[in-house]
A and B are shown apart, each in its own frame.
Chain A
Amino acid sequence: MSSDSKRWVASHVAALPKSGIRDFFELVAKMKGQDVISLGVGEPDFVTPWHVREAAIYALEKGKTYYTSNLGMIELRRAIAGYVTEHFSVNYRPEDEILVTVGVSEAIDLALRALCNPGDKVMYHQPCYVSYHPSVALVHAEGIAVPTYAKDGFALTAEALRAAWVPGCKILMLNLPCNPTGGTCSLEQLTKIADFCREKDLLVLSDEIYSELTFDGVHTSIASLPGMSERTIFLHGFSKAFAMTGWRIGYACGPAPLIDAMMKVHQYTMLCASIIAQEAALEALLRGWDSVCKMRDQYHRRRDLVVRRFNEIGLTCHSPRGSFYAFPSVSQLGITEKDFAVGLLQQEKVAVVPGNAFGVNGIGHVRACFATSYEQLIIACDRMDRFVQGVKK
């Protein structure tokens, strides 16, 4: 086969950049078997709580192997409605305002496909989750990155939003707490952002996948602010808080006409989320809260450990208010984040992700995931210390 087959690839897909994470993954893969400690992951180190796994096994034993309603099992949607009311103070009708999806990933794709016309402008804060910009590009919309800064703990500000706004902006994607920075907004900042969205008639896609992992203060959903639920699609899932990444299950909540539009795309492209994953998710919502709290408390202690150590080592690091990522700065060492990550991997066998993988505003930083045992984190910090001392010489 000749490389000529490339000519069949759609131009907007060919134009998508290769994920920076992918490059780095290949580098790490080459070091297999060398006692690498990876802080490069984006998922919990906990396995899914046993009662959840057991519920899925039981569902299989009972022969639950068929399609479900396009929207997802009604029992699950009811449980989601209850959970979202309890934890986020927003009410959604299980019948037509909730859609069960294959992870938040699918929900993001569905929302963008259902809402964007070619050329529409979608704002998102940056550094951000690696798939935001490509997802926007895939629907022929235009991404408008709004920078966030270390000095603000990477919280999005209404001022930055206003400065980046251009006519034609239709959607604002929010991810609080944020991957990769752990940044979240104070209620005051969030209120200003909500005011701005109403002023400019922006629809908000709010990806709150890390919300349960908020360590300082309480998490507030923008959808719960006055006048916001009618212009917000609330996206959430089970991957992070319930340690269920491999199950591929999440959901979207929002005004019925928007959920209906997303459902149209979902029904023709996905049909429904896996019934086994739906059964497991139902169990997680009904009886999983204690496990979530236990895991959150451990992440909290791990965060305090790595942030303290990073700052002691000389890797300036704000304390992420949520998520399981620390985003220290490496620029003060006089090397790029890429050189830092590659050097650290090759000399000390610790993997972190260079910040430019999350957009230009991540330059000068690396992402270190602390969803790893205390023992491993302590060793990783010792190794990073040695590496930094070496660079400083």
Chain B
Amino acid sequence: MNPVFKLLLEGGHLSTAQMAQVVGLSEVEVQQHLEQLKKDKIFLGWRPVLDLSREGAGVAVRAVIEVKVTPERGGGFNRLAERLARFDEVESCYLMSGGYDLLVIVDGSSLQKVAGFVSEKLSTLEGVLSTSTHFMLRSYKEGGFLIEQNESSSTRLTVAP
């Protein structure tokens, strides 16, 4: 397996220079591995993990929306899902098994903005049968990071047998 991919899977946050040291390659080679992963559409990009529910983060609300749609002949769910995913408000969009079809995560600066997006854009799209919107109240873990209980090994002895 691509050595850089293994490192990415660990979920750490190393610079290309640090990755190069860890896997014993040059920075250029690491960069090439990253490019290859991008070409393969496995590695899509970097982005910071933010706790947007914090006061001061600016983004006031995040909603999880269950969307039921009518699949189209020929296109299935893809055409509608891809169209939906293009809206800037949409943070993530997934096709799901189970009681609804699409799971859409929407960020907005206020309740009104998100509600407006749902009622004006999302539910009026052709093919959308119904939506069910849940507003997130608080986050406990975000992108692999625990929000409150930071575990520290600071009590670990500095020298031990």
Contacts and interface: CB of A to CB of B under 8 A. Distances in A.
Interface of A: 19, 21, 24-25, 28-29, 36, 38, 40-43, 45, 47, 129-131, 179, 297-298, 301-302, 304-305, 308-309, 351, 353, 373-375, 378, 381
A374 B157 contact: no
Contacts of B18: 374-375, 378
A28 B22 contact: no
Contacts of B160: 21, 25, 40-43
Interface in B131-161: 151, 153, 156-161
Given A25-B159, A301-B7, A351-B158, 11 more contacts: A25-B157, A36-B158, A41-B156, A41-B158, A41-B160, A130-B161, A298-B10, A301-B6, A304-B24, A305-B21, A374-B14
A374 B159 contact: no
Given A45-B153, A374-B14, A375-B14, A351 B22 contact: no
B48 interface: no
B99 interface: no
B158 A25 contact: yes
A325 B159 CA distance: 13
A130 B160 CA distance: 10
Contacts of A41: 156-160
What class of interface size applies to chain B in its complex with A? 10 to 19
Contacts of B158: 25, 28-29, 36, 38, 40-41, 351
A65 B21 CA distance: 48
Q: Which 7 A-B pairs have the closest CB atoms?
A: A40-B159, A25-B159, A38-B158, A42-B160, A130-B161, A28-B158, A374-B22
B6 A42 contact: no
Contacts of A297: 6
Contacts of B21: 305, 309, 374, 378, 381
Contacts of A298: 10
A359 to B, nearest CB: 13
A374 B19 CA distance: 9
Contact of B161 (A21, A308, A381): A21
B26 to A, nearest CB: 13
Contact of A19 (B6, B10, B161): B161
Contacts of A38: 158-159
B60 to A, nearest CB: 31
A29 B159 CA distance: 9
Contacts of B56: none
Nearest to B24: A308
Contacts of B6: 297, 301
Contacts of A25: 157-160
Contacts of B10: 298
Given A131-B161, A375-B14, A45 B156 contact: yes
B159 A351 contact: yes
A302 B153 CA distance: 18
A42 B161 contact: yes
Contacts of A375: 14, 18
A19 B157 CA distance: 15
